[in-house]
């Protein structure tokens, strides 16, 4: 049995296509991460605001407002 197989040009995998697909997967994951981080930061800021309002007795007036 010959275990020394060589690939001819006709049977070589499409490495350029593979690279593009991998890049696309990574880019999609990065976009999802950005969305999740943005959502969590909005949630954190909302919770911080709520803590400030509760600490002020439920009334929060911005400086310079009537």
> In this model, does residue 6 exceed pLDDT 60?
no
For residue 7, pLDDT beyond 60:
no
Give the burial string for 7-35 (b: 16+ CB within 10 Å, else e): eeeeeeeeeeeeeeeeeeeeeeeeeeeee
| Per-residue model confidence as pLDDT tens digits over 14-58 | 787 999 999 999 999 999 999 999 999 999 999 999 999 888 887
Question: Tokens 């070589």 correspond to what residue?
Answer: 12
Q: Give the pLDDT band (50/70/90) at residue 62.
A: low
As a whole number of angstroms, the distance between CA 62 and CA 56 comes to 12
> Whole-model pTM above 0.85?
no
| Domain layout of the chain by residue ranges | 16-59
Sign of CA dihedral 37, 39, 45, 51: negative
């Amino acid at each position: 049995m010959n275990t020394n197989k060589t690939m001819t040009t006709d049977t070589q995998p499409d490495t350029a296509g593979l690279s593009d697909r991998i890049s696309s997967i990574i880019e999609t994951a990065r976009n999802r991460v950005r969305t999740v981080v943005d959502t969590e930061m909005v949630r954190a800021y909302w919770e911080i605001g709520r803590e400030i309002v509760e600490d002020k007795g439920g009334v929060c007036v911005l400086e310079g407002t009537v």
